[in-house]
Structure 1
Amino acid sequence: MQMEERLSGNENAEGGGENSVQQQQQLTEPLNCNGHLDRGDEAGDSCNRKFKKRAPLVGVFVILITIIIVLAGVKFSGCPDPPVAAHCCPDGWVGYGGKCYYFSEAEGTWNNSQSNCSSFGASLAAIDTPQEMAFIKRHKGLSEHWIGLRREPGQPWKWTNGTEFNRWFEVRAQGECAYLNDDAVTSSWCDTVRYWICSKPAGRTA
């Protein structure tokens, strides 16, 4: 009886050892794409076929995302800026640097020219910068034009608004009223008749 029990115990031990070996082999065998044990080339081919079926869908998805991003960027950049107030000058006037200028077609004395400018809510032109000077010379042509610079005997040059001239350009001759010829600012008696230049701040429109 003891001999039979020992044989039975040995058989069970051998069976348990075989089961343990099989479990270890299963743990070390690779899994296929479905999470099952890989059984060779057939399982690998199945995995490849599924990947090939999904690849076009992934590509289409990526393309759609790219198109959406591009369209969103175009829409954002294409939004118009809010309206900005623009300078506006009356008909017959020329705009530059936030001012409106009128170049007369008639001639008059310095005082008459200033009166004409005043009737338009303007004054004989004050010239504040070299850029403004170049602009006025370009538009007036070769004719002599009165500008808004005058002095009383023994007094400094002043603009029509009472501001003292800072002498950033030379005023030639010894007259009392200044005018602009074809290349420089010079002066003469105020009763001489010439064309004139009016200027005023430009209006604004929304």
Structure 2
Amino acid sequence: MHVNTTPHCSFRLISICLQLLILRCPLQWESVESSCFYFSRASLNWHDARDWCHAHQSQLLILTDDKDWDYMRSHVGHTFYWVGLTDEGGKWEWVNGTPYTIDHCAHIHLDGRLNDLHCSERLRFICPQELLQTSKR
């Protein structure tokens, strides 16, 4: 009697698709830690700048802490940029409704402080956004 002593192995090919999550900013947006910033080259009035940011799933910049202020002060150089601060409702508040205790709309001044200016003036603007999560196979 013949006994086969060679082990019989059966292998199954298992296809595993690993998804690599990539965090990235949209084109022409700058990556800073976990956020993206759009520094416009075009000048718009405050309302059009707000609408542009909104159309790109963002809002005008809201400065919430010293880290934000320091980064923006170092980045704006010699250009004025609109931020998401206005007193058109009779009191200063950020575009997300958070009150701010400071003419109608605010921009970052050359020295890094906020300055008020009539909303019809045309300035560059800054829109922030969280990093976008995309997948790559």
The TM-score with structure 1 as length reference comes to 0.51
In 1, the alpha carbon distance for the partners of 2:94 and 2:24 equals: 24
Match of 2:104 among 176, 187, 193: 176
In the TM superposition, residue 153 of structure 1 has moved relative to its aligned partner by 5.2
Structure 1 residue 148 displacement after superposition: 0.5
Answering whether residue 93 of structure 2 is matched by residue 158 of structure 1, we say yes
**1:135 paired residue number:** 71
Q: Please, which runs of 5 or more residues in structure 2 have no aligned partner?
A: 1-18
With a CA cutoff of 8 Å and minimum separation of 6, indicate the structure with the bigger relative contact order: 2
SS where residue 123 of structure 1 aligns?
Answer: coil
Which of 126, 129, 136 does residue 200 from structure 1 map onto? 129
Corresponding residue pairs, total: 116
Query: If you compute each CA radius of gyration, which structure gives the higher value, 1 or 2?
Result: 1
What are the superposed Cα offsets for residues 64-87 of structure 1, whole Å, 9 maximum, x if unpaired?
xxxxxxxxxxxxxxxxxxx99664
The amino acid of 1:176's aligned partner reads H
Contact 1:153 1:176 in 2 (8 A): no
Change (3 A) 1:141 1:205: same
The question of 1:185 aligning with 2:114 is answered: yes
Unmatched runs of 5 consecutive residues or more in structure 1:
1-82
How far apart, CA to CA, are the structure 2 residues paired with 1:85 and 1:106? 33
Match of 1:100 in 2: 36
Alpha-carbon distance between aligned partners in 2 of 1:159 and 1:84, rounded to the nearest angstrom: 36
1:177 alignment partner AA: C
Asked whether 1:117 is paired with 2:53, we answer yes
Specify which structure has the higher proportion of helix.
1
Aligned partners of 2:88 and 2:105 also within 8 Å:
no
Moved more, 110-119 or 83-92: 83-92
1:116 alignment partner, SS class? helix
Instruction: Give the structure-2-normalised TM-score.
Output: 0.74
List per-residue Cα deviations over 1:119-165 (Å, max 9, x = no partner).
2111111111111111122222211100001113532x211111223
Instruction: Tell me the C-alpha RMSD between the 2 structures.
Output: 2.1
SS in structure 2 of the partner of residue 178 of structure 1? strand
